[in-house]
Amino acid sequence: MDTEELLETLQAADLSYYQANAYVTLLELGTASATEVAQASDVPDARIYDVLRDLDDFGYVELYEQETFQARATDPETIVSGLTDRADALESAAAEIEERYERPTLDTQTVSIVKRFDTVLEAARTFVRDADTQVHATLTRDQFAALRGDLVDARDRGVTVNVTVLARDGDEPLENADFEGAVSAAHRISRPAPFVLTSDLRRTAFAPNPAAVEDYGLILRNRSFTYVFFWHFLLFTWLPSPAVYEADAAGPQRYADIRQFLLENRDRIRGDDPLRVEIEGRETESDRSVTVSGEVVSAEHLSEVDRGDDRAPSVMALTGTASMVVDDGEKRWTVGGWGATYEDVEADRIRVTGTAAVNEAEPAE
């Protein structure tokens, strides 16, 4: 490194131009008077004393008086250690900048386009940890294994977890033991599909299937976009694929979408024992939060999917109005899903708490 480069580096380390000049000059002279330092450097005579005093304060030089005002460079060990620490910090900052460029901050962006699948998978892990109602995911066996611990934690919190596992060539089918404790239900398909994970119909992590030319991923904290990905999951990978695992019912089921609730509980709603639910949402007229607990007495969506058999409904049967009426014992509430306008309540969360017959048989706490 030549003298000019050394001067520039010292200035990058927070010395002024005059301070760097005076210090490098003293490194070469050893000990010198203030006048000699000024003559051998670019520091004006009128500034030399202030410059040397500043360097003394910083620990770069030592000042003393004999017949004249003298200065000498201090032992460079402390200075070198400080510069080395600063270099390490700058190197770490450079690496962090590259990392953050690849991984946009999730908390401050509604929609992020990222370049690496690891970033998408980390976002999915965060979304599972944040879920309190429902998680839907289409994923490979390896991706399921990567998320399994977080899915177990979600199930322990009472979150409903539905997954469709992509069966690739050579994959051994997952056993019940792999799913137990981690999912509510699992389906299996044998064709390529994108990685999709939605959480509470509010957050989405997405990456195209491995055969796609594009190499990117999407991380969404947006309910409108998430609804699109939820329907992709439901129509293209969940309903058309066979079930391979269903957990024993233990505790209330939770739903973030009224259509899925009506679809999966149509037989129970048609049964002799009215189904009991708890609805958390907002009153459409006042926009206030409300919780409604009671019996489902009717559901408009059922007439469209009820064909008198157990076959899955068609795509067209899943469209249109989806609403129900819940009787809390004092009032009958009409309940709709996301964007409800004419119903009394827009449901954010639906919890199945049992049937009337079961609840009446349970002893009071």
The Cα 230–Cα 226 span in angstroms is: 6
Give me the tens of pLDDT residue by residue for the chain, a chain 365 residues long. Answer: 777 887 787 777 778 888 888 888 888 888 888 888 888 888 888 888 888 888 888 888 888 776 677 887 777 776 777 778 777 777 887 776 676 556 544 444 588 888 888 889 999 999 999 998 899 999 999 999 999 999 999 999 989 899 999 987 777 778 889 999 999 999 999 888 999 999 998 899 999 876 555 678 899 998 888 888 988 898 889 888 898 998 876 556 788 888 888 877 877 887 778 889 999 888 988 889 899 999 998 887 654 444 444 545 555 555 667 888 999 899 999 898 877 788 899 888 888 887 544 444 343 33
Q: Can you give the pLDDT at residue 358?
A: 42
Q: Can you give the pLDDT at residue 244?
A: 92
The Cα 171–Cα 187 span in angstroms is: 15
Q: Assign a CATH topology to domain 3-79.
A: Arc Repressor Mutant, subunit A (1.10.10)
Model confidence pTM above 0.85: no
Q: Can you give the pLDDT at residue 363?
A: 38
Q: Can you give the pLDDT at residue 312?
A: 52
Q: Can you give the pLDDT at residue 101?
A: 58
Q: Assign a CATH topology to domain 106-246.
A: Endonuclease; Chain A (3.30.870)
Grouping H, G, I as helix, E, B as strand and the rest as coil, residue 179 is helix
CA gyration radius, the chain: 34
Distances (CA, A) of 50 to 55, 79, 91, 332, 362: 9, 20, 33, 84, 87
Backbone angles phi, psi at 10, to 5 degrees: -65, -35
Grouping H, G, I as helix, E, B as strand and the rest as coil, residue 149 is helix
Strands 332-336 and 345-355: parallel
The Cα 271–Cα 326 span in angstroms is: 15
Q: Which CATH architecture has domain 253-361?
A: Roll (2.30)
Give the DSSP letter string of 22-79: HHHHHHHHSEEEHHHHHHHSS--HHHHHHHHHHHHHHTSEEEEESSSEEEEEPPTHHH
CB-based contact 179:245 (threshold 8 Å): yes
Domain spans of the chain, in order of start: 3-79, 106-246, 253-361
